[in-house]
Amino acid sequence: MGLHMTGWGILASLPFLLLAASHLGALHPAGDSLAVFRPWLVALAALAVALLLARGHRGAALAGMLVMLASGATLLRAWLPAGAVAGGGAGVFTHYQKNMSYRLADTAPLAEDIRAVAPDFITLQEVTYRNARLLAVLAEEYPAVQECPFAKVGGVVVASRWPKIAGSGRCGAGRGMTAMQVETPIGPVWVIAIHLHWPWPFGQPAQARGIAQDIAVLLDEDPAPVVIGGDFNMVPWSHLMGMMEQASGARRIGGVAPSFPLPKIGAKIPIDHVLASTDGGRLERRPRLGSDHFGIVARFALSRGAAGQ
Measure the CA–CA gap between 221 and 240, rounded to whole angstroms.
23
Together in a domain, 200 and 103: yes
Between 93 and 87, whose confidence is greater? Answer: 93
Contact 254, 299 (CB under 8 A): no
Residue 39 covered by a domain: yes
pLDDT digits 0-9 by tens, 131-149: 999 999 999 999 999 999 9
My answer on whether 223 and 117 are in the same domain is: yes
CATH code of the domain in which 243 resides: 3.60.10.10
Rg (C-alpha) for the chain, rounded Å, is 21
Q: What is the pLDDT of residue 228?
A: 98
Domain membership flag for residue 11: yes
Type and span of the H or E element at 64: helix 58-79
Do 103 and 226 belong together in one domain?
Answer: yes
Q: Is the pLDDT of residue 309 over 70?
A: no
Do 70 and 147 lie in one domain? The reply is: no
Q: Is 248 exposed, middle or buried (0-12, 13-18, 19+ CB in 10 A)?
A: buried
Please say if the pLDDT value at position 2 is more than 60. no
pLDDT of amino acid 4: 44
**Residue 309 in domain:** no
Closest listed residue to residue 38, CA positions, set 241, 281, 294, 253: 241
- Packing angle, helices 58-79 and 38-54, rounded to 10: 160
Same domain, 15 and 162: no
Residue at which a domain ends, from 79, 107, 137:
79
Task: Please tell me which residue, 281 or 8, carries the higher pLDDT value.
Answer: 281
Residue type, 279: D
Does residue 175 sit in the same domain as residue 59?
no
- Residue 86 pLDDT exceeds 70: no
Residue 143: CB atoms within 10 Å: 13
Give the amino acid at 157: V
| pLDDT interval class at 9 (50, 70, 90) | low
SS3 158: strand
Whether 135 is in a domain gets the answer: yes
Q: Which pTM was predicted?
A: 0.93
Contact 144, 162 (CB under 8 A): yes
Kindly state whether residue 85 falls inside one of the protein's structural domains.
no
**Does 285 score more than 70 pLDDT?**
yes
8 A C-beta contact, residue 228 and residue 251 = no
- Write down the pLDDT at residue 8: 65
Q: Which of 19, 51, 79 is the last residue of a domain?
A: 79
Residue 85 pLDDT more than 70? Answer: no
Length of the chain counted residue by residue: 309
What is the identity of the amino acid at 270?
P
Could you tell me if 226 and 120 lie in one domain? Answer: yes
The reply to whether 177 and 285 lie within a common domain is yes
Burial of 80 (0-12, 13-18, 19+ CB in 10 A): exposed
Report if residue 72 sits inside a domain: yes
Look at the chain and report how many structural domains it folds into.
2
Dump pLDDT digits (tens) for 38-77.
Answer: 999 999 999 999 998 988 888 888 999 999 999 999 999 9
Q: Can you give the pLDDT at residue 275? A: 97
138 and 202 inside one domain = yes
Q: Is the pLDDT of residue 176 over 70?
A: yes
Q: Is 84 part of any domain? A: no
CA gap 152, 127 in Å, rounded? 10
- Per-residue pLDDT for 305 more than 90? no
270 and 154 assigned to the same domain:
yes
1 has pLDDT over 50 = no
> CB–CB of 96/119 below 8 Å?
yes
Q: Where does a domain end: 79, 102, 132?
A: 79
Q: What is the extent of the structural domain holding 52?
A: 2-79
Q: E-strand spans in the chain?
A: 92-99, 121-127, 144-151, 154-160, 170-172, 177-184, 187-195, 226-231, 251-252, 260-261, 268-269, 272-276, 281-286, 295-301
Question: 227 and 142, same structural domain?
Answer: yes
Question: Are 291 and 98 in contact, with CB atoms under 8 Å apart?
Answer: yes
Residue 199 belongs to a domain: yes
Residue bearing the bigger pLDDT, 53 or 157: 157
Residues 215-260 have pLDDT tens digits of: 999 999 999 999 999 999 999 999 999 999 999 999 999 889 999 9
pLDDT band for position 5 (cuts 50, 70, 90) = very low
Per-residue pLDDT tens for 69-78?
Answer: 999 999 999 9
Whether residues 202 and 259 share a domain: the answer is yes
- Of 202, 113, 214, 117, the closest CA to residue 156 belongs to 214
